[in-house]
Amino acid sequence: MTATSHAAARARVRTGGPKTDGPKVLEHLLGWTLVIVLAMFVTQAGLM
């Protein structure tokens, strides 16, 4: 693999990551909200 093809392959592999995502606080808040709502549903349905 030559230097240019290696750089092109590395550019293709890059798909984003944590630094390109939105605010982590909002993501964590929405995740915990989902967990709480699911727990409430399980409790109300009598599954636990």
Distance of CA 14 to CAs 17, 24, 46, Å?
8, 20, 46
Q: Give the span between the Cα atoms of 48 and 14, in whole angstroms.
A: 43
C-alpha closest to that of 40 among 30, 48, 31, 27: 48
Mean pLDDT, consecutive 10-residue segments, the chain of 48 residues? 60 63 83 96 88
Instruction: State the alpha helices, DSSP H only, in 1-48.
Output: 3-13, 24-44
Rounded to two decimals, the pTM is: 0.51
Backbone angles phi and psi of 45, in degrees to 5: -80, -10
Name the residue ranges covered by the structural domains of the chain: 22-48
Return the pLDDT at 18. 60
